[in-house]
Structure 1
Amino acid sequence: MAVDRMQQQRFELKYLITEEKALMVRDFVRSAGMELDEYSAIRPNFSYPVHSLYLDNDVLTTYWDTINGNKNRFKLRLRYYSTDPDTPVFFEIKRRVNNCILKQRGGVRQQAVESLLSGHLPEPQHLVSYSAKALVALQRFCELTHRLQAKPKVHISYLREAYVNDNDTVRVTMDRHVCGEPNLRFAIKTAMERPRYSYRPYVILELKFTNRFPNWFKELVRVFNVMQRGAAKYVSSIQAIGDPRLLEAHTTIVQEEEVNYD
């Protein structure tokens, strides 16, 4: 994907809505002057696939930080859109500081993913496109991964319909078909074998802004009578999968490695 639209600092409000209401929200957002982003515009049903591989330690520290509502928390994830080796994998730190979302990320070459997650120190050549900011983000990601002893845990995917304004200060997304399954390897994949779905049959509506809360957001909330709520995909996927399945997947990998070693 050619353009990185990530907002480094923003506020985001989440809502669960029905598919019927989502279609009406689509019309409302367009009437407010928002346009489909360049990826949604060329896709069937205006939605493109998003994949994330979340990292955590064996006691699921970042999961429990979210469950317990810790104000200053973070998640570690790899965000990607394709298994094409020429496309980047974004090593991303997503922090919540009070009500503000802060993000850092660097786009990494797919062939470098396993070595970086195995503990190799980040180098400029690991990046798809070098910048000091991207390298600092990658270094910070690897530092937090080492400190937390985090490893791949869950692969999550969904379809995203996204709208943006002219200067990228306001963004509206609707996410459908959120699903996840254990992935304890360093594999970048899109196919799932036994996905577990979250939030069905609802759509996750997110209203995102970097500066002032737009007045038409207030009108949208009023017109559609929606109530703000949490919708953390990593948390919901862990709950849908259940710890026993994660343990089962881990045990299977260990057994396979022992067989290969023998």
Structure 2
Amino acid sequence: MAMNTLPLRHELKYFINERQYFVLSGVLDGILNRDPNGDEYNEYHIRSLYFDTVFNNAFYDKMNGVQNRDKYRIRIYNFSDKIIKMECKTKVGSLISKRSITIPKLLCEQLMAGDPTGLETTRSGLLNDVYREMTVNLLRPAVLVDYVREAYLHPAEEVRITFDKQLRTGLWSKDLFNPYVPTIPPFNENLMILEVKYNKSLPSYIRDILNTYCQGACASAISKYTWCRRFEFPGEEA
């Protein structure tokens, strides 16, 4: 898919501590809409199985600050196989875009096994790209990434603010549907990731709230994927 046809959005990321989270989430809960996918606590669990090439291009492209890059993943929610999404997140300079398609479990298991057979004949551009990456660059499952998400929405500029909590890595396991896979946190302290996504401009009052309640939190190019592979690459800072 040509980059100039992607629907590009802004994405800001911050590491925040528990105190900042409790204050900011309370404020946002009073002025924004809760994510309809959340439970009574406005939370849901996300598990992603990220893919990378035989040369770990996605990992090293991120670490080296390559401006235009793709990451492929399969994502499920609350450990359920009812909704399985194949996704590609694209970074274009400072902007991001995401393509996503729901796939059946049988195809999911085929892709987890590294088998792209049949994808070249689908009508999905995303699955065509997965076929190319699997055959040309040997794209294969790399790591499981688990976390709990709390999200708030605003219709203006399609603002989406999320708190990603309890980040854990499945290390070398690729068992997407097993809720009992051993996982460990990649951080040495209890950090959360605040993400702010919007189309062209962030409404000024939301920006003011973030500036007020996230003092000391600097925007950073945080990658859950690279953090969750840090044990495979000792010495690399995600």
TM-score computed with the length of structure 1 as normaliser: 0.77
Whole-angstrom CA distance in 2 between matches of 1:187 and 1:206: 24
Does the alignment pair 1:98 with 2:97?
no
Residues 1:8 and 1:200: Cα distance change in structure 2 (over 3 Å) = farther
Structure with greater proportional helix content: 1
Shift of 1:168: 7.1
Does the alignment pair 1:207 with 2:205?
no
Does the alignment pair 1:115 with 2:110?
yes
Q: 1:231 aligns with which of 219, 222, 225?
A: 222
Whole-angstrom CA distance in 1 between matches of 2:37 and 2:203: 24
Q: Is the 8 A contact 1:162 1:172 kept in 2?
A: yes
Q: Hey, what does 2:53 align to over in structure 1?
A: 57
Does the alignment pair 1:10 with 2:1?
no
Whole-angstrom CA distance in 2 between matches of 1:183 and 1:78: 16
Aligned pairs for 1:1-262 (under 5 A) are: 8-31=7-30, 33-40=31-38, 42-43=39-40, 45-85=41-81, 87-116=82-111, 117-122=114-119, 135-166=124-155, 169-183=158-172, 185=174, 187-198=176-187, 200-224=189-213, 225=215, 226-239=217-230, 241-243=231-233
Residues 1:109 and 1:82: Cα distance change in structure 2 (over 3 Å) = farther
Shift of 1:167: 6.1
Aligned amino acid, residue 236 of structure 1: W
Aligned amino acid, residue 98 of structure 1: G
Shift of 1:111: 1.7
Q: Secondary structure at the match of 1:197?
A: coil
Shift of 1:14: 0.5
Q: Is the 8 A contact 2:58 2:69 kept in 1?
A: yes
Q: Secondary structure at the match of 2:125?
A: helix
Q: Is the 8 A contact 2:12 2:197 kept in 1?
A: yes
Whole-angstrom CA distance in 1 between matches of 2:176 and 2:26: 39
Q: Secondary structure at the match of 1:182?
A: coil
Aligned amino acid, residue 10 of structure 2: F
Shift of 1:199: 6.5
Residues 1:8 and 1:77: Cα distance change in structure 2 (over 3 Å) = farther
Q: Is the 8 A contact 2:157 2:202 kept in 1?
A: no
Structure 2, gaps ≥5 residues long: 1-5
Aligned amino acid, residue 90 of structure 1: K
Q: Share of identical aligned residues, percent?
A: 22
Q: Secondary structure at the match of 1:190?
A: coil
Larger radius of gyration between Structure 1 and Structure 2: 1
Whole-angstrom CA distance in 2 between matches of 1:202 and 1:123: 41
Aligned amino acid, residue 108 of structure 1: I
